[in-house]
Structure 1
Amino acid sequence: MRMFDIVLTVIIELARIFITLEYFRIFLDCESRFKEMLAGLLAFLLTTGCFLIISNNYINTLSTIAGIIIISLVYEGKIRSKLLLSILCYSIMVALDFIVYMVTAVNIVTEQYQVVAAFVSVLFFYIVIMMLRLGFRKKLKSEFMGQWYILFIVSIMSVCTLFAVYKESGLSSYGILFMSTSVLILNLMLYVFYSNMLDRYIFMQENENLKQQMHYYDAQMKTNIENDKKIRAIRHDMKHHIREINSLAEAGKLYELKKYSDELMGDINGSETVFNTGNITLDGIFNYYNGKFKDKCIETDINVVVPENMGISAMDINIIMGNLLDNAYENAIKVKDSYIKVNVKYNGNMLYIYVSNTFDGKVEEENGNIVSLKGKEHGYGLENINRIAEKYGGNIKIEHSDKRFVVSVIMYIIN
């Protein structure tokens, strides 16, 4: 086999392996990048070795399928899911090769054409994986998502460039191979750069959510510590309180007795945590926001009936309740006679959240979706709530009148 064929095979197979790894990352998680790279290397050696040494169509097909399955095995999940994803991946490859052949069949089959067709097929595989990744991550809407279309435009222009290069007379097979490899590397580098930027942005969002969650926990712990100090002080002085109560009772001073007992009850009530459902995440959130509502004299009606462990991650609860109560607070303070009503109930593996608040009646909608009046950078609250609800097979419902804004969320928990 000529050196040219070996170089072409190595480049094409490396690109296919890289894109295949990205394909499985869309659907499955892997705890180790080293295992991913090792599986990719084994798949590359298997497929490339069979093609260069044996060069039999049936053997090449089996080695390609085996290589895809080897890659799938390092990811988490059921074997059945991995096999189905492997078959789908190979089907996509075969379908794209067939499409490229049918579309370009009118051309004279030359060595230059075969090079271009091979790279175009890989580019189409890359485009399909980008589309799958975009569809899968659409729920993670962010300002970066629109940049996917730049990658699509670049990849389509790359296909057109390759055909233009092929039509250019005077270029040797090695010249076309060099141009095609450069175009492919450029596309893959842009993909890696953008993918890393998106992952970084998502990490930053999750980090901010964790900071907010820790803020709630910190506020709850400070409240608990302060209340514990009050309880200890009351216990320490309890004998003095009892002696004083007895003295007032014996003296028949009922007015002074009632006044003293009321003051003592006030201290006891003041040392109690407002919300003590047993779920530390919700307790922290509601106790924190209850303080904010009181500071602005917002009338509240909050009912929470949940078990200690609901089967929902603390971060997801934080995202939903934090955004809902933030929005309710910011809307309620804009009007007189502000009022917020919250119902959180867990029943039969279903979590129901209802938040209603007064507001000034100003609502802006875009494509049927509520848009924040504070600007685009603040418009992700309801989207994040909806994303979490869909994660648990639920949904979000938004209603509003001239004076009342209502958000209802339902989630289904499978333990």
Structure 2
Amino acid sequence: MVHSYCHVFSSIFSEGVDVYTTTFPQMLSKCLIGVATLLICFAVSYDQQHFLNEKELNRQIDQQKGYYHALTEQVLAEREARHNFRHQVAAIKGFLDKNDMEGLRGYCDDLELEEMGKVTIPYTGNAAADGVLYHYGCIARAKNIEFSVCCYLKDIAIPDTDFCTILGNALDNAVTAAGQYDGKRFIEVATEKKHDMLLITVDNSFDGILFQENGKIYSKKRQNKQEGIGILSMKKLCEKHGGASRFEAVGNRFQASFILKNEVED
């Protein structure tokens, strides 16, 4: 972005020296036009960043709505399950009384399939993160991706918007990559808090093909060698919070890891 500003500014003075140094008013006019152009560029950049931040916030709000809707459904389902429990016990006893082991096995298989069709609702201690994890857990289930979470995020100092942007981008890349893999599909999310630092890792299976050069991973979606917008965003936010990010692959396992300063300001 800075390079583009410099290019715009230099283009204003791209004419010959005799043109803009002939008179002082001409030189002053050129300078004022240059300053005005830079101010406009900065204003456009600010508006664009504001738009992206608002878009990310709206996305997280939508995910939260889905998460809380799922929580409500789970509460209702548990009430129904408690109500129906005695009927299920009676059915099992009926199979046992008749010594119908085949029927009992089929009945238990049906109950197991019913439970397998549900996405486990995560509880990390952070409602915003739970919403993001549940959202991508549903996407993973639809793509037959095994999705596991081992996170404890209660009372983290990192703003929810920044943290969920990192987590959401990492999971978005993970479900895309794992969903295109023909082998065992999985995504594993884990966090660890140590002293004043927070470590987040997102592992996923993928096809093993990685466009990488000089430590940079290039997006498969773009024609030119450019890092993906998501990766750039995650790197920027890690640096903002005094940390770093790393992306590496071994065989068909890809890992994105992020370390962030988790100090609570007095």
Q: Which residue of 2 aligns with 1:385?
A: 234
What is the total number of aligned residue pairs between the two structures?
258
Q: 1:359-378 residue pairs with structure 2 within 5 A?
A: 359-365=206-212, 368-375=215-222
Measure, in 2, the Cα distance between the counterparts of 1:360 and 1:272: 25
**Equivalent residues in 2 for 1:291-310, closer than 5 Å:** 291-307=138-154, 309-310=155-156
Query: Does the residue aligned with 1:165 lie in a helix, a strand or coil?
Result: coil
SS of residue paired to 2:246: strand
Cα-to-partner distance string for 1:17-50 (whole Å, 9 max, x where unaligned):
xxxxxxxxxxxxxxxxxxxxxxxxxxxxxxxxxx
Residue-by-residue CA offset, 1:357-402 (whole Å, 9 max, x unaligned): 2222222235542110101698211111111111111101121234
Match of 2:39 in 1: 192
Change (3 A) 1:310 1:231: same
| Aligned position for 2:134 | 287
Question: Contact conserved, 2:187 with 2:204, CA < 8 A, in 1?
Answer: yes
Structure 1 pair 297–262 and aligned structure 2 pair: CA distance change class (3 A):
closer
Query: Does structure 2 retain, via aligned residues, the 8 Å contact 1:209–1:318?
Result: no
Q: CA deviation at 1:276?
A: 1.3
Relative to structure 1, is the Cα distance of residues 286 and 188 closer, same or farther in structure 2, using a 3 angstrom cutoff? same
Distance of aligned partners of 1:243 and 1:209 in 2 relative to their CA distance in 1, 3 Å threshold: closer
What is the match of residue 21 of structure 2?
164
Residue in 1 aligned with 2:27?
Answer: 180
**Bigger proportion of residues as strand:** 2
Question: Does the CA contact (< 8 Å) of 1:350 and 1:411 recur in 2?
Answer: yes
Q: TM-score, normalised by structure 2?
A: 0.81
What amino acid sits opposite 1:325 in the alignment?
L
1:109-134 Cα distance to aligned partner (Å, 9 max, x none): xxxxxxxxxxxxxxxxxxxxxxxxxx
Of 51, 55, 61 in structure 2, the residue corresponding to residue 208 of structure 1 is 55
1:231–1:268 CA contact under 8 A, matched in 2? no
Deviation at 1:245, TM superposition (A): 4.1
- Report sequence identity in percent: 23
Please show how residues 199-278 of structure 1 align to structure 2 within 5 Å: 199-235=46-82, 237=83, 241-242=85-86, 245=89, 253=97, 273-278=120-125
Distance 1:254 1:388, change over 3 A: farther
| Cα distance in 1, alignment partners of residues 236 and 255 from structure 2 | 18
How many angstroms does 1:211 deviate by? Answer: 2.3
2:151 counterpart SS class: strand
Q: Once the 2 structures are TM-superposed, how far is the Cα of residue 287 of structure 1 from its aligned partner?
A: 1.2
RMSD over aligned CA atoms reads 3.4
Q: 1:319 aligned to 158, 165, 174, which one? A: 165
What TM-score, normalized to structure 1? Answer: 0.54
Task: State how 1:348-359 maps to structure 2 within 5 Å.
Answer: 348-359=195-206
Q: Aligned pair in 2 of structure 1 residues 189, 248: CA closer, same or farther (>3 Å)?
A: closer
What does 1:9-48 align with in structure 2 at a 5 Å threshold? none
Which stretches in structure 2 are left out of the alignment for 5+ residues?
Answer: none
CA gap 1:396/1:250 in 2 versus in 1, 3 angstroms = closer
Distance 1:379 1:250 in 2: 59
Q: Aligned match of 1:414 in 257, 263, 266?
A: 263
AA in 1 matched with 2:97: K
CA distance in 2, matches of 1:268, 1:366: 45
Is there any run of 5+ residues in structure 1 with no aligned partner, and where?
A: 1-143, 167-175
Per residue, is there more helix in 1 or in 2?
Answer: 1
Question: Whose radius of gyration is greater, 1 or 2?
Answer: 1
Report matched runs for 1:54-93 at 5 Å. Answer: none
Could you tell me how far apart the structure 2 residues matched to 1:247 and 1:291 are? 32
Question: How much does 1:145 deviate?
Answer: 4.6
Q: Which has the higher contact order (CA 8 A, sep 6+)?
A: 2
Q: Residue type matched to 1:396 in 2?
A: S
Find the aligned partners of 1:316 and 1:339 in 2 and give their Cα distance.
25
Residue identity opposite 1:277 in structure 2: T
CA distance 1:294–1:271, change in 2 (3 Å): closer
Shift of 1:273: 4.6
